[in-house]
Amino acid sequence: MNDKLNFNQIQLVSLVLLRILIGWHFLYEGVIKLYNPSWTAKGYLLSATYMEGFFGWLASDSMIAVTDTLNIAALIFVGVSLLLGFKSSWGSLIGIGLLLFYYLAHPPFPGYPLGPSEGSYWIINKNLIEAAALFVIFLFPTSSFVGIDRLFVKKEITPSTT
């Protein structure tokens, strides 16, 4: 799929920009948590308003260390992958998964309690929109044009052009 897409300049720049912005966001969230030893997702998970059983299990004493580590690792992987353009389709899929977790723990469904937030939401919130944006990045990959993946594409292309 990667090699078949051809974008014009503006399309390419827009898609790369979107990829970098989201990568930036993920990476910063991951790094902040990585270097803060007292950070834990426990509060967020235990205050879940939907699928409480599942999120409660993730927050349980036997699971919380694994949950926290995986969350940080995934955030950083997604961030690095999108920023560098390396395995970006994996990065975007994992990113979508993470965002859906965050979304489902505190979904802005009608009748569900809304925690403190900087805006007003009904069914759709920024987690869901970011997940949708990542789906676009997954469908329209740009890392073979701008990103480390370009090195590997070039490697395959090089012989035929000489």
Partner 1 sequence: MAEDKKLFKGFSRRDLLKSLGGIPILGAVWFAGVNHDKKSKLERDFLLEKLNIKATPPPESGPMSGEPLRIGVIGFGIRGEQLMRSLGLATNEWLEEMAENERKNPNDMRLADFKAQESLNVKLSGICDIFDVRAENALRSFNTNDNTCKRYDTYLDMIHSGEIDAVIIATPDHWHAPMAQAAIEAGIHVYLEKPMTHTIAETYTLREACRKNPKAVFAVGHQHRQTQSFLTAMDALEKNTLGHVSLIMTTTNRNDDNGAWQYDIHPEASPETIDWNAFLGTAPQVPFNVEHFFRWRKWWAYGSGLSGDLLTHDYDRINCILKMGIPKYVTASGGIYTHRDGRNVPDVMHVNMEFPEFSTGGTQRESKENGMTLVYSATLGNQFERGTVLMGHDASMKLGNTLSIYADPRSTKYRDLIEEGRIDPNVPIFQYDPSAVSGVDAVTSATAKYFADKGLLWTYRDGKRVDSTFLHIREWLSCIRNGGEPSCGIQEGFEEAIAAHMAGLSYKIGRKIAWDEASESIIALPGEDLDAILLNNEV
Spatial distance between the Cα atoms of 67 and 105, rounded to a whole number of angstroms: 14
Spatial distance between the Cα atoms of 26 and 79, rounded to a whole number of angstroms: 5
Site for partner 1 in 70-89 (CB under 8 A): 79-80, 83-85
Count of residues that interact with partner 1, criterion CB under 8 A: 39
* 40 three-class SS: coil
For residue 115, state whether it binds partner 1 (rule: CB under 8 A).
Answer: yes
Shortest Å, Cβ 42 to partner 1: 7
- Residue 134 sits at the vertex; the CA angle it makes with 58 and 83, to the nearest 5 degrees, is 95
For residue 147, state whether it binds partner 1 (rule: CB under 8 A).
Answer: yes
Shortest Å, Cβ 156 to partner 1: 11
Binds partner 1 by CB under 8 A, chosen from 47, 49, 63, 104: 47
Nearest to 27 by CA among 86, 76, 83: 76
Structure tokens at 136: 């676009």
Residue numbers of the site for partner 1 (CB under 8 A)?
Answer: 20, 23-24, 27-28, 30-32, 34-38, 40, 42-44, 46-47, 53, 56, 79-80, 83-85, 115-116, 145-148, 150-151, 154-155, 158, 161-162
